[in-house]
């Protein structure tokens, strides 16, 4: 079983999003401060861990990296359970990856715990010339979904540390508000301020009938 030895908190984060948006590269940058220009195909699920200090608290961050390809979703879906936070990643040079975020948000609302906090992450911010998604579009979607939106570049490291730290901090604030201590014991009722827009998710569910 999980042990809290040496840590104040354990936080479990999940990365989802279309294939090739840079989920594994974000993890590589965050956990190993490295970058590879080669495509890293994630088959099924991968796992990394990093210790982070947030507001004087030592946090063990467990990061689950999921395959983006549609056919692996039956497997990756089972990993939503128990996630405290989900990074919904898109490639800001690929409009479709952004448009598909709503589908990913539906998956999160359906399979993750109801109080899991979502964060929209637009990756590849270094490729400014090829940008297809404006920061305003992401912010607007984030508002609808009741999330925050950030932009990152796994290549240049810009925004990566900040994105993960922000999400972890929000999770800790939520825990404190609910009187929880570590993230190991079960979590209670949902926090109204972070829940996904349920009506919107329900409408999507009705129309898509899947995920």
Partner 1 sequence: MSSKSKVTRINQAICEKNLDRLCALGQTKEGFVNDGLRRLVWPLLLHGPTTATAKPISRTKHADEDQLALDVHRSSLPVSRNQGKRHRQREKSDISVVATQVLRANPDLHYYQGFHDVCATLASVLGSDPPFPVSTDAMEKDLEKVTANLDLLYPLIRQQDPKVAAFLLESGTPPYFALSWVITWFSHDIDRPASIVRLFDLFISSHPFMPLYLSAAVVMHHRQELLDSECDYPTLHTLLTHSVKGAVSEEVIDHAVTMIHQIPPSLLQDIASGKITTQSPVSRLTSYVRFLGPRLSRVLRSRSSHIFGSSVLLLLLAWALRPSLLSFLVTHPTGSSST
Query: What is the DSSP code (8-state) at residue 8?
Result: S
How many angstroms separate the first and last alpha carbons of the chain?
30
Local structure of 48: helix, strand or coil: strand
CB contact set of 83 (below 8 Å; sequence gap of 6+): 12, 13, 14, 64, 112, 113, 116
Residue 78 near partner 1 by CB under 8 A: yes
- Contact between 74 and partner 1 per CB under 8 A: yes
Should residue 25 be labelled a site residue for partner 1 when binding is judged by CB under 8 A?
A: no
Q: Report the residue number, 43 or 192, with the smaller CB distance to partner 1.
A: 43
If binding is defined by CB under 8 A, does position 45 make contact with partner 1?
yes
What is the distance between the alpha carbons of residues 65 and 54, in angstroms, rounded to a whole number?
Answer: 22
Q: Which of 32, 33, 34, 41 binds partner 1 (CB under 8 A)?
A: 41
Q: Which is nearer to partner 1, 82 or 103 (CB)?
A: 82
Closest CA to 88 of 107, 78, 101: 101
Candidates 34, 47, 51, 134; binder of partner 1 (CB under 8 A) is 47
The residue within the footprint of partner 1, chosen from 4, 8, 46, 132 (CB under 8 A), is 46
Supply the minimum distance, in Å, between the C-beta of residue 138 and partner 1.
23
CA distance 138 to 160: 17
Task: Write out the residues near partner 1 by the rule CB under 8 A.
Answer: 1-3, 19-20, 36, 38-39, 41, 43-49, 62, 67, 69, 71-72, 74-75, 78
């Amino acid at each position: 079983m999980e042990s809290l030895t040496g840590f104040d908190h354990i936080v479990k984060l999940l990365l989802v999003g279309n294939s090739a948006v840079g989920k594994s590269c974000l993890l590589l940058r965050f956990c190993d401060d490295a970058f590879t220009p080669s495509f890293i195909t994630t088959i099924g699920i991968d796992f990394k861990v990093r210790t982070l200090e947030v507001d004087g608290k030592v946090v063990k961050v467990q990061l689950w990296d999921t395959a983006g390809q549609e056919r692996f979703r039956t497997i990756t879906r089972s990993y939503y359970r128990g996630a405290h936070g989900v990074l919904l990643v898109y490639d800001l040079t690929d409009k479709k990856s952004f448009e598909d975020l709503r589908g990913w948000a539906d998956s999160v609302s359906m399979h993750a715990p109801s109080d899991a906090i979502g964060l929209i992450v637009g990756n590849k911010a270094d490729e400014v010339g090829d940008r297809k998604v404006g920061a305003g579009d992401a912010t607007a979607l984030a508002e609808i979904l009741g999330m925050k939106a950030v932009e990152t570049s796994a290549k240049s490291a810009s925004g990566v540390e900040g994105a993960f730290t922000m999400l972890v901090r929000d999770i800790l604030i939520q825990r404190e508000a609910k009187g929880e201590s570590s993230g190991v014991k079960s979590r209670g009722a949902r926090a109204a301020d972070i829940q996904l827009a349920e009506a919107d998710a329900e409408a999507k569910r009705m129309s898509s009938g899947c995920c």
